[in-house]
Amino acid sequence: MQNPKNVRWRSLAMSLLVVAAAFSGCASSSELSDFATDGCSLFPDGTLRNRDRWFGCCYVHDVRYWEGGTREARKRADGDLRACVLEATGDEVLATLMYDGVRVGGHPVFPTWYRWGFGWPYERGYAPLTPEEQGQVARKKEQLCARLKGSFAAGGTLRVARNREISVKLARQICPDLAVPGPEPTRRAETARPEAWARPIRNVPGLPNLNEVTPALFRSAQPSRDGLAYLESRRPLSPGGRPIKTVLSLRAFHEDPSGPATPLSVRYERIRFNTWHPEDEDIVKFLRIVTAPALQPVLVHCLHGSDRTGTMIAVYRMAIQGWSKEAAIQEMTQGGYGFHPLWKNLTEYLMNLRIDSIKADLQRQGPWQQS
């Protein structure tokens, strides 16, 4: 006769093996449900004054959770949510709180409607999408993008649900080829742009919102892995130009991955620039880096290549090239780089910036030294 205690232990062990198998990464093909969202689920979508202030961030995050995939893909989606909320609110505590919430509550082991991979049956867990599953995702996303294309509302937003809207910029994270009906404001700005403004550079893989400020200074949004690989390959960004020597990130919560150091590899620098509270010391460090001949050409970026990057380029225009504050701010806000009027504090900071003091600090400290 078997010992009852041994029987119980064997039953428990078998149960654990079943659970482990379900989440071991061996997913089987099954039917993907249509995408649906409840916004930020158990968290508010915004404030009392602006009820949808970060709803768009949650909408994009939900699309990625619906699609599912690997553990690494989930971590990237959660990091992008935090960055998006921080960009929309300037509230580091709120952004981190939401990030911590999805890291804990969104685990695929929980049978909730907002878990990782909620578009698939519960048992899928973490695993790369199979070719058949990728096909399902592509078909469902095509349908979703078709709905988004037909949902443009007044003010250049898209209506994704009853009384709920998201920006075109966020929608393009889901549907990169989404076209805006009629001429886009950024395109109109580009047709009449002064020649001195940063020149757009198209069709460089993985480097969105890429522009040439000078032959020694470029600006962009966050480079993808393909974009960083392009830079590491030592190919120039413009015909006849030099390969990028230094990539300067202005992001506070994201670090660019870099390969092992070699004599020919790109150098990575970082300034944790806070959009809601710019600091003079960050401005001086930026100027020290981009004016150091040994580090040029430099590519500077933030998440969108719009606000933090635009502020730094405006300072460069004023302190190094002698532009007026009004001219530098006009390029920043009207140059077609995607400036968000939410960050009017940045233009106020620039108008009140003591350029002579910044130039004096730059001269006293000198070019940034390679370590």
DSSP 8-state class, residue 238: S
Q: CA 175, 253, 261: angle at the middle one, nearest 5?
A: 95
Q: Are 286 and 300 in contact (CB under 8 A)?
A: yes
Q: What is the spatial order of strands in the sheet that 298-301 belongs to?
A: 199-200, 211-214, 217-220, 298-301, 246-249, 267-270
* pLDDT score recorded for residue 167: 85
Rounded Cα distance, 163 and 51, in Å: 10
Instruction: Report the CATH number of the 188-365 domain.
Output: 3.90.190.10
| 97 backbone dihedrals φ, ψ, rounded to 5° | -60, -45
Q: pTM for this structure? A: 0.53
Q: Are 317 and 235 in contact (CB under 8 A)?
A: no
DSSP 8-state class, residue 178: P
Is 352 buried (19+), middle (13-18) or exposed (0-12) by CB count in 10 A? exposed
| 199 backbone dihedrals φ, ψ, rounded to 5° | -95, 125
Is 343 buried (19+), middle (13-18) or exposed (0-12) by CB count in 10 A? buried
Handedness of CA 323, 324, 329, 330 (dihedral sign): negative
- Outline which parts of the chain fall under CATH 3.90.190.10: 188-365
* pLDDT score recorded for residue 154: 55
Rounded Cα distance, 83 and 255, in Å: 12
User: Which residues make Cβ contacts (< 8 Å) with residue 18, sequence separation at least 6?
Assistant: none
Task: Name the residue among 90, 89, 63, 91 with its Cα closest to residue 77.
Answer: 63
Two tokens, residue 294: 């040994």
Q: Are 235 and 247 in contact (CB under 8 A)?
A: no
| H or E element that contains 328 | helix 325-334
Rounded Cα distance, 200 and 319, in Å: 23
Task: Name the residue among 76, 94, 87 with its Cα closest to residue 274.
Answer: 87
pLDDT mean for each 10 residues of the chain (371 residues): 49 46 49 90 85 90 94 92 86 89 93 92 91 91 86 71 80 80 47 82 90 96 90 89 94 65 73 91 96 95 92 96 94 89 89 95 88 57
CA distances (Å), 167 to each of 38, 59, 157, in order? 17, 11, 5
Q: Are 318 and 355 in contact (CB under 8 A)?
A: yes
Rounded Cα distance, 275 and 252, in Å: 9
Q: CA 229, 230, 236: angle at the middle one, nearest 5?
A: 150
